[in-house]
Chains A and B, each alone.
Chain A
Amino acid sequence: MSFEEFQNRTRLFVVGALDPDEMAEFENARHEFGEEAEAFIAECYSLSEAFALSLKPARASDQIKARLMEMVKNRQAH
């Protein structure tokens, strides 16, 4: 796989659109291209960030944070 093809696959990978057979090829190429591949993958996560940031933020119920912090507190206590 060329690096250009790897770049195309990476963009599909970060949005979760690779089929299982492509995933195996992707992982092989990822290993083959090493650090260059990891740097490009990290850069491509800007795509998934952008899709999330394209949505109007939604407000969570006030109870959620209270429950979350309570769970964390309990976990730290044990």
Chain B
Amino acid sequence: MEGIQREESEALSQLYDRYNGILKALVLRVIHNEAEADDLLQEIFMEIWNQAKNFSAQRGKPLGWMVTLARRRAIDGLRKKQAYARAEERLQHETEQQPDAWVHNSTEEEILDGDRRVLIRRVIGMLPPAQQQAIELAFFRGMSQREIAAKTNTPLGTVKTRLELGLKKIYDGLKELRDEL
């Protein structure tokens, strides 16, 4: 990140090689369209290049900053293109085929990342389904608590409780895992 702040293009190239898979997966999870995800990914890395001077290591790790930026761009992209309806259909279809949206087939490649992924999913998977769903809608769909309440036909207070409890459990679980990660 320091190299990018010094406008060294090789540093961006290395950052891209290291993180494009993670960021692409995130964008794809939000917009459910391969071509649009690729276009957005390019815009995201350009924004990382342009905004790197605003990154401060004291305020968190580079990946957290990039994920926040990528998620925001993906959700903005989804809204701008008014693709909600299409994404809804795709999500519905995927959900029918794959009840747990966080469960994906893993391959033998990237074993280290795979192990980390398994551990994180284990933490998330320990939450009750309603808490997982609330977090999924907030993080990957960009919904506010009110929107989640309306979508799931659940009282706002219940949504708030599900999010707070779920996030606290994941936060505590990640803290325990930190040494392993």
Contacts and interface: CB of A to CB of B under 8 A. Distances in A.
A76 B42 CA distance: 17
B117 A45 contact: no
A52 B59 contact: no
A52 B60 contact: no
Interface residues on A, range: 35 or more
Contacts of A19: 144-146
Nearest to A51: B139
B5 interface: no
A2 interface: no
Contacts of A15: 135, 138-139, 163, 167
Contacts of A14: 68
Contacts of B146: 19
Interface residues on B, range: 35 or more
B60 A45 contact: yes
Given A19-B145, A46-B64, A56-B117, A69 B23 contact: no
Interface in B40-96: 41-42, 45-46, 49, 58-61, 63-65, 67-68, 70-72, 75
Given A12-B163, A12-B167, A71 B46 contact: yes
30 contacts: A12-B163, A15-B135, A15-B138, A16-B71, A17-B138, A18-B145, A19-B146, A38-B59, A42-B58, A45-B60, A45-B68, A46-B171, A48-B67, A49-B63, A50-B123, A51-B124, A52-B22, A54-B102, A54-B117, A55-B25, A55-B26, A58-B25, A58-B28, A59-B24, A64-B38, A65-B17, A67-B42, A68-B42, A69-B12, A73-B9
Given A17-B138, A54-B120, A55-B117, 13 more contacts: A15-B163, A19-B145, A38-B59, A46-B61, A47-B171, A48-B139, A49-B64, A50-B170, A57-B21, A64-B42, A68-B16, A69-B13, A72-B49
Give the top 4 A-B pairs by smallest Cβ distance, nearest first. Answer: A57-B21, A45-B64, A17-B138, A11-B167
Interface of A: 8, 11-12, 14-19, 38, 41-61, 63-65, 67-69, 71-73, 76
